[in-house]
Amino acid sequence: MPTFTVVNIIPRSLSGETNQDSEPNLAVNPLNPLQIVASAFTPNPAGSGDAPIYLSTDGGNTWLLQAIVPSDKMTADITIRFGGNGNLYAGTLRTPFTVFDSQGNPIPTLNILRTGNVLSGAAMDVLVTRTGAGVDQPYIQAASVGGSDVVFCGNNDFNQSPQSANMDFSTDGANPVPPFKTTVVDVRAGAGDAPSIRPVIHEDGTVYGAFLSRISGTSDVTLRYNVVVVRDDNFAKTGPAFAALTDPGDGLAGKIVAQNRLIPFLSEPYLGQERIGSTLTITVDPRAGQSGTVYVAWADRVGANDYTIHLVRSSDQGRTWSGDLLTITNATNPAVAINGDGLVAFVYQQLTGTFKPQKVSAANRWETHFRTSGDNGATWTDQILATTPANQPPNPGPDGNVFLPYLGDYLHLMAVGQNFYGIFSANNTPNPANFPAGVTFQRNCDKTKHVLFDVDGKTPVDISIDPFFFKVTP
Amino acid sequence: MAAPTNPADLAAKASFVFRGTVQQLNAATLPEVGDKSKTAIVRVDETMQAPQALSHYTGQNITVQLAAPIAVGEQAVFYTNAWLFGNDGVAVRSMGHAAPGPETLALHAAGSDPVTNLENRDAQVRFDAAEMVISGTVSSVRTVPEAEPARGPSEHDPDWREATIEISETHKGDSVPKEVVVRFPASHDRMWQRVPKLKPGDTGKFVLHKPSGEAAGFYSLLGLEDFEPESKPGPMHRLVANLEAL
């Protein structure tokens, strides 16, 4: 039987916080899995200084928060990943914004950061700063290969017209001054890509990228996209990058996995209290000789007003793809990972109860599912990690302090060896019934009366959104 | 004791200022602190300036990463910023410390609220950085389609609105106009949700910026504190009152 560990990672000294700690990400040091770092839209509790990240040194059982990310109080986006030798990399959108266009629109700046010692307390070093016309949603991956670090950071590049899927990458990330290149990975003349650009790295040199390439649409509710996967077979070191996989339809780089999908981009509380519009994940089988096995999941609209996740698989380096292995209605934040035994795990957050667009009630809940398949996706186990009220806290709250994304535009799942590690955000009511696989709270609370308390252990604290770490040993 | 940097300069950069007594060198209250060669356990004797999250440590031991040598038993005013928040307390990074004395005590009135002291300092910084600070009332709000970025959608797009504000008093900036146009984001994206969403009738203090340059025909709200309603007067009201009393 698998064992589950679920931990609310807010430290006890921050028991009074009511931040919306959404859009979590996670990095496990593959050389020392006791060392784990997490990020979320968590501000510096002091109200000034660098942005914080969470750190565990005991495999995720206990956590603290430390401010080492060079960004004013918090980032506008952040993802994190370990390379080798304890090197932690981050892709961030840095705040405050310092460049604006003539209409007052801020131009986001991409930073790629690194620290060789997450315990040193020193601010992370800035390896890349790129602004131009702006960069959005950096999503970083790293791997230790041959004594150095391979780092790929997918992002949506506003410097292209139209905005395009892009990778900033280095094959020598551990170098004191690592050389980074940037390359556009969507070669088709489309109408602009959605924000989610997702890379994944295999140690044999294979790097996949997934993105949503817009093909039509004149308003946010009519946008249509192709789901595209690109591949490079040598860490993008030689030749045209990410050109190894072509589509037989047009002969261009990038296999169209799913065509002409309606994906409304709704920057408002739509699904429960969450926005929708750019949901995507990809993973590769990490085992030697298995880099041809790759999974992709995205969300689109198949009916009148739903938001539906599709999980598909390729076993031939992305050339052909299965039909839906799983189809999950009214769900978001998919993440998939494969462990060292080839076991596939799939996480997502599904809104349950009667769904009404832009409405939420006490009958709606966010269920965070953890599912596994040992037979290439034919059959799946299903463990609910969390089932939490979808209507609390309200969005926007009475003081305007609840924002979008409500839970996040993404979460994260990864494997190190046999174990799966992940993170999700959810309503933090300390009710054990909300966490069927068990849960540990660091912050002060009464799990019998379902009440959070401030650092004094007495003053009640409002419910908010917190990040929850989980580990699964199959 | 190492020669301190000017306490006023340190207080301007530090969010957490306290008078404390060194209990133990090369030690930490948090087990996660690995390198203790520059840390000390310090008892907080008096909190002078603090964010809410660090305002309740008076009488408790915390971990301080020192900027300069100090002896056990020595008392000093520490100028620090947050570093670690753990299950066993907090750790802060010191930018410097100074012996308690007239120069350090003059910055914070004895018995004053440390959170208010920090709010007042930050209000002064915002006032100094603003192009214009006014009292006024929102008379109208409109959408601004011409301000949409000329590209596909991003989750961070601000979705600008324009408010016209009738000025009742100008505290900083050009005092000639009777009204100004102010852009604010209607978006509830994480980047913008804290920025006030103005509506007709809103009255208070407005801290205005021109991020697109002086030639732009509008000001912008960029942060939570850029509008302080009359119904909920805070540090900007206190600052303006103090300036007018001078």
A356-378 pLDDT, tens digit each: 999 999 999 999 999 999 999 99
List chain A residues with CB under 8 Å of B122. Answer: 47-48
**B145: Cβ–Cβ under 8 A, 6 or more apart, which residues?**
none
Where are the alpha helices (H) located in chain B, listed in sequence order? 7-13, 102-105, 114-129, 235-245
Residues in chain A: 474
Beta strands in A233-330 (DSSP E): 255-262, 266-271, 274-276, 280-284, 294-300, 308-314, 326-329
| Distance between CA atoms of residues A254 and A367, nearest Å | 34
Check CB contact of A463 with chain B, cutoff 8 Å.
no
SS3 A246: strand
Check CB contact of A435 with chain B, cutoff 8 Å.
no
Residues forming beta bridges with residue A373, ordered by sequence position: A344
Residues forming beta bridges with residue A113, ordered by sequence position: A90, A126
Q: Which has the closest alpha carbon to B209: B144, B128, B137?
A: B128
- Show the low-confidence residues of chain B (pLDDT under 70): 1-4
Token pair 């010692």: residue: A117
Which pLDDT band holds residue A398 (cuts at 50, 70, 90)? low
* DSSP string across A273-284: TEEES--EEEEE
Check CB contact of B61 with chain A, cutoff 8 Å.
no
Mutate to test the interface with A, among B119, B120, B183, B190 (most CBs of A within 10 A): B190
Check CB contact of A106 with chain B, cutoff 8 Å.
yes
Q: What share of chain B is helix, strand, coil (3-state, %, to 5)?
A: 20, 40, 45
CB A10 within 8 A of CB A440: no
Cα–Cα distances in angstroms (integers) from residue A441 to residues A14, A248, A387, A444, B39, in the given order = 12, 52, 16, 7, 29
Beta carbons of A13 and B149 less than 8 Å apart = no
Check CB contact of B159 with chain A, cutoff 8 Å.
yes
Would you state the pLDDT for residue B107?
74
Beta carbons of A103 and B191 less than 8 Å apart = no
Residue of A120, A195, A403 with shortest CB distance to B193: A403
Residue of A11, A16, A402 with shortest CB distance to B87: A11
User: Which burial class, exposed, middle or buried, applies to B133 when counting CB atoms under 10 A from its CB (0-12, 13-18, 19+)?
Assistant: buried
Domain segments of chain A: what residues? 3-473
Residue of A22, A45, A57 with shortest CB distance to B51: A45
Beta carbons of A48 and B216 less than 8 Å apart = no
CB A164 within 8 A of CB A154: no
A456-468, pLDDT tens digit by residue? 999 999 999 999 9
| Distance between CA atoms of residues B207 and A57, nearest Å | 43
CB A70 within 8 A of CB A124: yes
> Is pLDDT above 70 for A418?
yes
Residue of A41, A121, A275 with shortest CB distance to B83: A121
- Average of pLDDT values for A126-152? 96
CB neighbourhood size of B186 (10 A): 16
Q: Could you give the angle at the alpha carbon of A25 between the alpha carbons of A22 and A29, nearest 5°?
A: 150
SS3 A78: strand
CB neighbourhood size of A463 (10 A): 18
| Distance between CA atoms of residues B51 and B117, nearest Å | 9
Beta carbons of B212 and A104 less than 8 Å apart = yes
Check CB contact of B216 with chain A, cutoff 8 Å.
yes
The token duo for A260 is 């002409």
Token pair 């174990």: residue: A419
Residue of A44, A108, A220 with shortest CB distance to B82: A44
CB neighbourhood size of A314 (10 A): 22
Which residue from B minimizes the CA distance to A102?
B212
| A395: closest CA of chain B, how far (Å) | 9
Topology (CATH) of A3-473: Neuraminidase (2.120.10)
What's the mean per-residue pLDDT of chain A?
96
Please, what are the domains in chain B? 7-109 (2.40.50.120), 130-147+157-245 (2.40.50.120)
A64-73, pLDDT tens digit by residue? 999 999 999 9
Residues forming beta bridges with residue A28, ordered by sequence position: A36
**A473: Cβ–Cβ under 8 A, 6 or more apart, which residues?**
A2, A3, A418, A419
Q: Write the secondary structure of A405-466 as one string of H (helix), E (strand) and C (coil).
A: CCCCCCCEEEEECCEEEEEEEEECCCCHHHCCCCCEECCCEECCCCEEECCCCCCEECCCEE
Q: What share of chain A is helix, strand, coil (3-state, %, to 5)?
A: 0, 45, 50
Would you state the pLDDT for residue B151?
83
Check CB contact of A401 with chain B, cutoff 8 Å.
yes
Complex-level ipTM beyond the 0.90 threshold: yes
Window A:264-283, CB contacts with B under 8 Å? 265, 267-269, 275, 277-278
Would you state the pLDDT for residue A356?
96
| Distance between CA atoms of residues A300 and A261, nearest Å | 6
Would you state the pLDDT for residue A73?
94
Is the bond preceding A474 in cis, omega lying within 30 degrees of 0?
A: no
SS3 B125: helix
Residues forming beta bridges with residue B178, ordered by sequence position: none
SS3 B244: helix
Would you state the pLDDT for residue B216?
87
Beta carbons of B51 and A48 less than 8 Å apart = yes
Would you state the pLDDT for residue A402?
79
Check CB contact of A132 with chain B, cutoff 8 Å.
no
